[in-house]
Amino acid sequence: MPAAWTAFHEQYYSAYLAYAELQLGDRGEAGELVHRVFVHLAAHWQRLMREEAPMASAWALLKSGVARHLEERGRQPAMPETAVFRNVSRRVLEDVRGEFAAMESALGLYTAIARLPERQFDVIVLRYVLGYPTGDVARLMGVSDATVRTHCTLARRKLGRDLQMDTGGDGDDDDARR
């Protein structure tokens, strides 16, 4: 394997696995899926490296793999019901300084997050659920830090509107891992 692929695998495997597990609701299925994604990336590494945005392409491959896996099994994303998501709900609420405290009941927050547009959903999940700082989210998704902050701001506004709450300030003011 090329050294760059090995470094990519070491840096991103755990994040890809955490995201897939959150969506699939099963660590074993997520592990198999992420393994297949990395095997595909290894087989097509040189072509991937010639792309304008290889990180974005790798992220898109993971997301399409998750979507295909769910579709083939006639399932919906497990995110609102996933134990991992429920276990971090209190930390999510603390990270956004109590802005969404009233939303925790009846999975209202989880359902609202699941309805976000795709990029906003990814940013909220990676930042606040999985705890990655803005720079890491940007690298994972193959976008700029500013793009992550914009998606975060838009998502927080949409969540506030959907749940009829004032979310306070705009933006991505704190990194999730402090």
Same domain, 57 and 90: no
77 pLDDT exceeds 70?
A: yes
159 pLDDT exceeds 90?
A: no
Residue whose tokens read 């998704």: 141
SS3 state of residue 108: helix
Same domain, 63 and 87: no
- Does residue 50 lie within any of the structural domains? yes
Residue whose tokens read 């090995």: 6
Same domain, 100 and 62: no
Cβ 176 vs Cβ 152: under 8 Å: no
CATH number of residue 91's parent domain:
1.10.10.10
- Does residue 32 lie within any of the structural domains? yes
Domain count, the chain: 2
Same domain, 16 and 40: yes
Global confidence as pTM: 0.75
44 pLDDT exceeds 50?
A: yes
For residue 42, the enclosing domain spans 3-72
Mean pLDDT, the chain, rounded, equals: 82
Tens of pLDDT, residues 100-151 = 554 444 357 777 888 899 999 999 989 988 889 999 999 999 999 999 999 9
Same domain, 52 and 107: no
Q: How far apart are CA 8 and CA 41, in angstroms?
A: 10
- Does residue 172 lie within any of the structural domains? no
Cβ 165 vs Cβ 102: under 8 Å: yes
Same domain, 50 and 14: yes
pLDDT at 43: 95
